[in-house]
Structure 1
């Protein structure tokens, strides 16, 4: 049995996990997801019950688009160890895999979670692991379990321990928020009476960068999460916008109009040295990096309509990479370079879409009509975006096959500009 001690490099525990029950709003169901039973964990202490772990794990796995958790009322029994699993009965239920476990209190106020994954059709134990956490680590442990199950069954690293940042509020009362990827444990990183735009994460997850209009004009700011320290990086005349961290965390791709026209530049964070990448009469904006750092994806009007281009960082030479439709913007490449996510207009409606970079095939993922700012998960299997629903701006996630779309239940209304953080360090 593998034993793991949960220890995040820096952990923001502002709210008791005991009171937070996650509710998901399903916008669209999945395409042949794998049925899985997540059994409520046994609990020998007080203060909460094992249902909470199962609820979080079930929600995580469902939102990935790869799994269909079985409803609790449809479960045949509630085993908590492999010796209690009757494989024949569970095979009749339709479940292909089963997750269960036990929680037990520790002397320091924390607890240990032992959990197992069983292959129902193969009638075998796939793994058994134990993890320990403090009294406020229940949600982290549940996300860890989700990651272990997801990676074992899909081969992709799970993203359920990651965090997001996003902007909320209205005129005169704007906030920059951080939360878990499922919207839980929301906290305010900064308040402003002026607009805040385009947040992005450093590759190590220790800093964020964003645009703020404080002082009456746009500037790009760098904020350290552990201390809250903020530093203004740019204050050029005109537009200072759309910052994007390079894969090594040393540079930013940004949009500046100091030369009279919006172009893409690269800013060395330490030296403040600036290098121009594009130089074109059209509008070049919304830069983001390819995974290897050799190229920058950006939106340009140089062809008459907004389309996505890729420029070489070394030479500045650019090539167009989207051709389907008359509007494609806000491109973000997956870490493996296989998929490009972006906003695509079809029949006058703005959808989140992906393009297979080998075949150039475009797939529209959403049925919503005013999508903005797609942010790809670090494993490239989910996308978070802002959209309109019920007259307000919300955040939603969609699997990259379009099979599952879910509204992220953040605590505040009118949220936008999501950025999905990197994998957490344990």
Structure 2
């Protein structure tokens, strides 16, 4: 294997992070949306009664979430007086005239001890229900406990309920994303809400940080840090900030990927020569080698059922994507279109995977169905990397470049909706979309 080929395959593992990053100022991510679904659902979100007393206005957050998905058209409520607070207040003819198919109304009620009770209803403006007040059909209605500091999360949870009720798919607005930035000479691993707000620094270092990976329960992050002047894998608890070394073997330790049950991770080590894939228990014990080749095997991704692992290998002469049983065994090559396909990530339903394909000097996000082998190119940028599925499989978060610096972006799995998440300055890379927590409504 030539040094040139080696550097091309490992550029995603080390090169981009050792290179100089631009200085950044602390700033929230801002989102630009282009495109949309072929048929968008028109929804009106009325201001919640009592929300004006709090910094986080629920109606605005809910509307922004739904618009960001590309599945909804937000119908203005401007000029509607008085605003409806209960189903009996709704005049269906007014909302039909505005083109709304559904209407959201709600209240924020203060409770003893500083607690809040957020009540909302999702109403149909198309179908009437003679048995309901005002003849308005209720599609969903919940009362959610909250607090002034949790109002934004509550808004995301309401948006999830609306999204699921109107599309049939799980909502992911109440999930979180992780990514790496650099501020001055400081690398920071950050976690934020799915809309880029409420960014918190999980870990910071003067040395590069890379490859954050969420545990299936969303309580821990595995990542690679270079504090020891070499790549070492750590696992960190988000609630306590406690962390420990998962893998610090001879040579490079990189590319952690959690098994769906959270008991193991697949990692990449060079301790026995070239980069090979190993399984290791989540407490750092029980190391087991899974690949046995003289090539570079890297970038593992577990299938949702835990039966298979996708990975990148140049065993056939160029970087391609292979699949093997999770316990090891003979790999099967999956990609044949193009001479450079890397960084596979399973879809949540296990029927497809996203990856990065190089074509004509461009690195773009692509998706391939496993059964048919059909490939769809989803982006058309110059240098895309690190794709990561949303938990519902409808959006893919990835890193790209704009003006010579790293930015985050997202694209829908059908390629129709595109988002760009940017900061005012600096580099943002290595995104990972967190899981949908079981406690979410």
Q: Specify if TM > 0.5.
A: yes
1:12-52 C-alpha deviation (Å, 9 max, x unpaired):
xxxxxxxx999532244443222222222222762447xx2
Q: What CA distance in whole angstroms lies between the structure 2 residues aligned with 1:23 and 1:192? A: 25
Residue 380 of structure 1 is matched in structure 2 by: 393
Alpha-carbon offset, residue 293 of structure 1? 1.0
Residue in 2 aligned with 1:297?
A: 310
- SS at 2:249's partner residue? coil
Mapping for residues 51-200 of structure 1, pairs under 5 Å: 52-73=57-78, 78-123=83-128, 124-169=137-182, 172-200=185-213
Residue 315 (structure 1) shift: 4.0
Matched position secondary structure for 2:123: strand
Deviates more, 1:347-356 or 1:294-303: 347-356
Query: What residue in structure 2 maps to residue 13 of structure 1?
Result: none
Give 1:87 shift: 2.3
Aligned-partner SS, 1:122? strand
Unaligned runs of 5+ in 1: 1-19
CA shift in 2, pair 1:413/1:283, >3 Å = same
**Distance change (3 Å), C-alpha of 1:82 and 1:203:** same
**What do residues 38-81 of structure 1 show as CA deviations (whole Å, max 9, x unaligned)?**
222222762447xx212211221122232222245587974232
SS of equivalent to 2:437: coil
CA contact (8 A) 2:348 2:389 kept: no
* TM-score, with structure 1 as normaliser: 0.89
Give the aligned partner of residue 40 of structure 1.
47
| 1:186-226 C-alpha deviation (Å, 9 max, x unpaired) | 01111111111101011111111111111211111111112
3-state SS of the aligned residue for 1:83? helix
- Cα 1:234–1:425 change in 2 (3 A) is same
Provide the rounded CA distance (Å) in 2 between the counterparts of 1:72 and 1:407: 27
Aligned residues: 405
Q: Distance in 2 between matches of 1:22 and 1:127?
A: 31
2: CA distance, partners of 1:21 / 1:128: 32
State the Cα RMSD in Å: 2.3
**Matched residues in 2 for 1:391 and 1:29: separation?**
27
After alignment, is 226-235 or 98-107 more displaced?
98-107
Q: How many angstroms does 1:269 deviate by?
A: 2.7
Could you give the per-residue CA deviations for residues 161-203 of structure 1, whole angstroms, max 9, x where no partner exists? 1111111106841111111111111011111111111010111
Aligned pair in 2 of structure 1 residues 217, 205: CA closer, same or farther (>3 Å)? same
* Per-residue deviation, 1:270: 3.2
Asked whether the equivalents of residues 22 and 56 of structure 1 are also in contact (C-alpha less than 8 Å), the reply is: no
SS in 1 for 2:148: coil
Structure 2: which 5+ residue stretches go unaligned?
Answer: 1-26, 129-136
Q: Distance in 1 between matches of 2:91 and 2:371?
A: 45
Structure 1: distance between partners of 2:54 and 2:79: 26
Change (3 A) 1:81 1:289: same
Q: How many Å separate the matches in 1 of 2:255 and 2:28?
A: 35
Aligned with residue 286 of structure 2, among 254, 263, 273: 273
Within the candidate set 301, 323, 327, 2:336 is matched to 323
State the shift of 1:419 in Å: 1.1
Matched, 1:233 2:246: yes
Question: 2-side partners of 1:346 and 1:129: how far apart?
Answer: 49
